[in-house]
Amino acid sequence: MSYSIAEAARRSGLSIDTLRYYERIKLLDPPARDTAGRRAYSDDDLNWLGFLTKLRTTGMPIKSMREYASLRRHGVASAGRRKALLVEQRRSVAERIAELQGCLDVLDYKIENYERVEQKVLGIEPGMEGISA
């Protein structure tokens, strides 16, 4: 199957402008063109875009995604380096998750504090016995 740029944008979740941008900066090999010169994205193109958006979500900078894309073009000889990039990225994602987990704990603590304040305002807090609202 092949897809117009609008369809590719819809399926990848990227904007049309971003698709052309990714092509310009060589994240994406130039897709085929139809007889009128319009881009015709293949399923392979879409799969690659799907993977790219995953990498992007992990916070990988475009520079590194470009490196990975460029290695891919160099075939099997680059597999080691590509794997190393992914392993490093996995490490950084795991780290980021842990960091976010820590932030979640801080948020929970703060939110609980606000809840305690609400309780206190309602006079329900233990130690304030005899005062019921």
Partner DNA sequence: AGTTGACCTGGAGTGCACTCCAGGTCGTAG
Partner DNA sequence: CTACGACCTGGAGTGCACTCCAGGTCAACT
Q: For residue 44, what are the CA distances in angstroms to 95, 115, 125?
A: 31, 51, 61
Mask for 73-102, x = binds a copy of itself (CB under 8 A): ---x--x--xx--xx-xx--xx-xx-xxxx
Locus of tokens 């891919």 = 72
Contacted by 36, from a copy of itself, DNA, none: CB < 5 to 8 Å by type: DNA
Q: Is 132 exposed, middle or buried (0-12, 13-18, 19+ CB in 10 A)?
A: exposed
Alpha-carbon distance of 33 to 123, in angstroms, equals 71
Site for a copy of itself in 106-125 (CB under 8 A): 106-108, 110-111, 114-115, 117-118
Minimum separation from the CB atom of position 105 to a copy of itself (A): 10
The residues binding DNA (CB under 7 A) are 4-7, 15-18, 20-21, 33, 35-39, 56, 61-63
